[in-house]
Amino acid sequence: MKITVMTSDEQFISLDVDSDESVENVKALLEVETKVAIQQQQLHFNGNEIKNSDLLSSVGVRDGDLITMLVTSERLSADQLRIAPDGSAVNPQAFQQHIRRDSQIMAQLLQNDPQLAQAILGEDSNALQDILRLRHQQRLEMRRKQEEELALLSADPFDVEAQRKIEAAIRQKGIDENWEAALEHNPEAFARVVMLYVDMEVNGVPLKAFVDSGAQSTIISKSCAERCGLLRLLDQRYRGVAVGVGQSEILGRIHVAPIKIGQQFYPCSFTVLDAPNMEFLFGLDMLRKHQCIIDLKENVLRVGGGEVAVPFLQEKDIPAHAREERIANLQGAGSAPGSSGPRERSPSVPPSPARPSGAPSAGLAVSSDLEAKIKRLMELGFDRESVKYALELFKGNEEQAAAFLFG
């Protein structure tokens, strides 16, 4: 049979129950629907309270009847609200119900600790327990630091170790204050920076172009050049190595092809890299040539001194593979041994085959045979560093190194 329950806030709940169902089981169903504990429910039928042990048929409840539910202010016992030594609640359901009923506490939690507030309002008691344990650990850590600071204040002023700890505490306090000031005045510094992409067409093929003023040359990948029908124009005499954060092989150069920015066409030259994860990078050479302005106030790229303006893409419009590659690069840079942190910079192409300063050496041992090759190549007019780099690149092959240096 179907019965209707009217709550104290005038909500109507329809339940499908058996006529011989106990009142206690009906309360259990209502607890699921209303989040009100069984102990706080009072059910009334025809003006009389019905007890948990009563059956619906015995108190005269029939199909289609209306039952009224009142919520009592029965307080939970202290044992039900007890906190375990690890900070978790002994009875998480009772703890949730107790906090939910106190609107003032919930308002404070929603403002000061929204994560804990969401866990209390949610249904996952395990997540609530984990957050309570975490908050307990944080309180213990804060208390430990306070005790250390008090101990330092009473320490011997002539103790070198105590003075060192006081200096470290003062320095850390300055760092914490600086962090709090940044959260208040510069919160965007903690957000992820969206890289600059614009819509372009290369030889009639639409692309998402990465605008990077930190890259010397405009770069296109081999697969992208093939898709744009430009690979037939590849000049392999300009083979080499692009050195930046890591290295990539330069397959050659495409000297000129049309690109469309907005509604205007511009001539552009490309360096072709064997880099499948990067399709098209609009570098400093073309930014200078076409007098481009990166206008971050209006969030547009202005070309030709301002005659054309195209908006930078929002993060949702950036190609998925570009976002995934960037995250992988950041994680790799952050975990690399000796890394000083993530470096968000695209590979820059050296103007000549000579190895730039700071490029990593492959570490060939300088034998007498290698020294003779170095001297012979230096006699052709190249400096020692460039010669060593070329020999290392081609594993000591003198002819290939010479062709690389001349190329």
Residues that are catalytic: 212
Number of Cβ atoms within 10 Å of the Cβ of 60: 11
Please name which of 28, 40, 36 lies closest in space to residue 74, comparing C-alpha atoms: 40
Q: In the numeric block, which tokens belong to residue 64?
A: 């289609």
Taking the alpha carbons at both ends of the chain, their separation in whole angstroms is: 90
| 175 vs 314: CA distance, rounded Å | 33
**DSSP letters for 276-332:** TT--EEE-HHHHHHTT-EEETTTTEEEEGGGTEEEEPPPGGGS-HHHHHHHHHHHHH
DSSP state of 351: S
Please name which of 187, 191, 189, 209 lies closest in space to residue 199, comparing C-alpha atoms: 209
Long-range contacts of 299-305 (CB under 8 A, 24+ apart): 301/196, 301/198, 301/211, 301/261, 303/261, 303/262, 303/264, 303/266, 304/264, 304/266
